[in-house]
Amino acid sequence: VKARSNFNETAFFYPHLLTDPDGSVVISFTIPEALTKWKMLGLAHTKDLKYGVISNELVTQKDLMVVPNAPRFLRENDKIVFTSKITNLTENEMKGAIELMLFDAATMNPVDDKFKNTKKQQTFTATKGQSGLVEWELEVPEGIDAITYKVVAKSGNFSDGEEMTLPVLRNRMLVTETMPLPIRALQTKEYKFEKLLKSKDSTTLRNHKLTLEFTSNPVWYAVQALPYIIEYPYECTEQMFSRYYANSIASYIVNSNPKIKKIFDLWQNLPNSNALLSNLEKNQELKSLMLQETPWVAEANNETERKKRIALLFDFNRMANEKGKIIKKLSEEQMPSGGWSWFKGMYESRYITTHLITGFAHLHAIKVLDVRKDTIVWNMIQKAIPYLDREIKKDYDDLLKYNIDLDKNNLGYYQIQYLYARSYFLDIDVNSSVKTAFDYYKKQSQKYWLDFNNYAKGMIALALFRYDEVKTAKDITASLKEHSLNSEEMGMYWKESYGYYWYQLPIETHALMIEVFSEITKDEKVIDDLKTWLIKSKQTQDWKTTKATADACFALLLQGDDWLKEDKLAEITMGGEKVDPYKHDVPTEAGTGYFKVSWNGTEIKPEMGNITVKNNNKVVAWGGVYWQYFEQLDKITAAETPLKLNKKLFVERDSSTGPIITPIEKESVKIGDKIKVRIELRVDRDMEYVHMKDMRSSSFEPLNVISQYKWQDGLGYYETTKDASTNFFFDYLRKGTYVFEYSLRVTHEGDFSNGITTIQSMYAPEFA
């Protein structure tokens, strides 16, 4: 019996077709051997683009058809009942024989004995127009990568067969267990890698690799972000100014610390240096998925490209020229009223104008630019401030015009932004016609500051402090401190629902908080704690905007202690032995002090799970330990890291009151049952570029096979179904708890291993 083996999804024919004398065309093609319904589509057109379309449906079938119900894959040590349907389309009853043959796909040697296929040949009966069912009980052995099955049936003159290859997945898999090693300044800390310490209890576990990586001074990652802000393509007023602002800060930082240029040169010129690679490209061997298999290839290339533009930072002539061009353009685009529009040709924008004035003031405050000595800049400021004064007067006049109760809270973010910007220019007097409005909104900010978010509170505190309203300013900082959260690892931060408006952005808000505490309380511990959160945010995220990057770099590099000068390596011991990167012949990265040391197979001892780290610098440091081993799926246990997973399976059954779900361990499951997978994820910090993979048993068939972007509980993610797993990709995963559900159908009887669920940050793979 010849078995069908061509299961291509498309039937193809050459489109060079000729008509006969009647104008008819015969289309001839070989159909693939799947027994199914096909849709034929044809399009014909003439040289002058007249066209015709034909559509038809075809069915490929035989009088006797064998339809095996094969799973998508097999897994070692599973037991499966392999079934095949025999369909009879003749007018008579059919009796015959059917046989299942199994071959090693690599050598085509028979492997029926290994699969315990003892009843290879069986008889069947199929009545007229009906189907019969045949079963074979199989046990999947270890050591075969793929099998080819061949099912053939014969009854009298009728016969059919099907031949196809199935992958056999390993029942043991390479597991990567991780443990982050966060440590604060000048601290000594002990860690216990419990899984590694208890690894001797398993008889089936086989060690593969143990990797330690550590960064002694992560603040250099902020420096690596600087080139991104040099070039930004958009020509709106805001982005032009952002480019100017960022260029000014970058050149000032680079000029103020000659060590930066020296370190940059080392990063660029060292062979095999990974310093300028995106975090998504680093450590491929420690990640759950190759970068090429993720949706983030473009982001990785983009970040790498940004870092590699470091040479542009040192082209000072180019920088000065670029800044000169932007200032000239901003001056030309300032309107007669003194305001700027978002794009040229639009009406003037109050937000954009205040944003520019504040930015210039910032640069003046940190001594990057003397605005009063730069004639063009000072002229622009002197025209813009009266425009903003007139706008605030207009706000106040509107309150009077519409009889608004002046005792109520009439303060908004524009008025707060105005007071903050205006407080930088105490030497420009408030016009007497504006004074009433100005004083009114200043009093409003003193009275109603509690009603606003942290960004607004920070602006109000700085404005009032500069206008000698010191008591309220200090009340605000005391309140901010009181409502802050403080953790040993993350430093000082706030629990706040951030959004997409300019006053709701997390990095910018945090950078402003550093300015608030630096200027008003001068509390060095608080400033260091705030800087700690900011640099920790760089561990699991990529600062995406020019403004966030510029503000964060300004806060980290120009406020509080100079963290860049810290250059001592952390002292690390594992299992009582000191880890010396030089002994392992491992280079230490300039600036960051980053190194990576690995041990293989038999070098790995359980006691290496006792780890001590001593941080000799005045700056937060971090690292991670990755332990990779082979273990049977059913013996892999849950890990405890900042990402926590809980997975449950339920059987879903219909009832008179609607669907009811019952935990799978309390129900016997049968073919056709609907299974609901529920995965609960907890994450204790914001992360970017996170991949979750949920494996499944070969007896389950997913109901959703279309890859798609989904949105639930304020979280957007991409879900894609593979043959042996369902994958979830999160561009941005906020701190919180999330529940994911999807449905499967039971397709086979047997005893199956379901596999495990893993999640990992691709940006910081120590979080897994």
At 29-66, the pLDDT tens digits run 888 999 999 998 888 899 999 999 989 999 999 999 99
Output the CA–CA distances (angstroms, integers) from residue 337 to 298, 372, 564, 708, in the order listed.
Answer: 43, 21, 44, 49
3-state secondary structure string across 262-289: HHHHHHHHCCCCCCCCCCCCCCHHHCCC
Determine which helix (DSSP H) or strand (DSSP E) holds 75, and give its type and residue range.
Answer: strand 74-75
Position 230 scores a pLDDT of 57
Token reading at 671: 């073919």
**99 touches 124 (CB < 8 A):** no
CA distance 346 to 455: 28
In angstroms, what CA-CA distances link 257 with 254, 403, 557, 563? 6, 57, 10, 11
Spatial distance between the Cα atoms of 394 and 582, rounded to a whole number of angstroms:
68
pLDDT confidence of residue 263: 85
Three-state secondary structure string covering 554-593:
HHHHHCCCCHHHCCCCCEEEECCEECCCCCCCCCCCCCCC
pLDDT the model gives residue 506? 85
* Residue 137 token pair: 């009980």
Please report the pLDDT score of residue 553 as a whole number.
82
Residues 6 or more apart in contact with residue 300 via CB below 8 angstroms: 278, 280, 281, 291
Is residue 380 within 8 A of residue 444, CB to CB? The reply is no
Phi-psi sector, 672: left (phi>0), alpha (psi -120 to 50), beta: left
* Per-residue pLDDT at 271: 67
Amino acid symbol at 146? A
Q: Do 213 and 630 form a contact (C-beta atoms < 8 A)?
A: no
Kind plus residue range of the DSSP H or E element containing 433: helix 432-448
Position 233 scores a pLDDT of 55
Residue 624, judged by CB atoms within 10 A of its CB (0-12, 13-18, 19+), counts as buried
CA–CA separation, 720 and 186 (whole Å) = 45
Please give the pLDDT value at position 228. Answer: 58
Please measure the distance between the N-terminal and C-terminal CA atoms of the chain and give it in whole angstroms. Answer: 52
C-beta pairs of 106-115 under 8 Å, 24+ apart in sequence: 106/145, 106/146, 108/148, 111/141, 111/144, 111/147, 114/141, 114/144, 115/139, 115/140, 115/141, 115/147
Structure tokens at 67: 């339809």
Q: Which residues of the chain have pLDDT under 50?
A: none
Dihedral, 21, 23, 29, 31 alpha carbons, nearest 10: -130
Amino acid at 378: W
Residue 377, pLDDT score: 96
